[in-house]
Amino acid sequence: MPANPSDITEATRATLGDRPDSPCIGICSTLFDDICQGCGRTAAEVSHWVFLSDEEKQVIWDRITREGTARRFKPG
């Protein structure tokens, strides 16, 4: 899961500062699989979030944004 720090650009690091501290939206559900229906992270990503480096968080943000399936990305 760790990202290679050399793959993270300054522009990418800046985007972390523009985002909330966490992808969590307070609608936690892993009822049907290991992915939270609210934020799109795995249970392990949720439980380890505070210990992850900025690079690791960026990789997760990029993935959940790209997938766009979590409620975080659904209108209304």
pLDDT in tens, 19-45: 888 898 888 887 777 898 899 999 899
- The model's confidence at residue 1, banded by pLDDT at 50, 70 and 90, is very low
Cα gap 40→24, rounded to integer Å = 9
- pTM of the predicted model over 0.75: no
Q: What is the pLDDT of residue 76?
A: 66
Where do the structural domains in the chain lie, given as residue ranges?
8-13+20-73
Residue 42's beta-bridge partner residues? 35
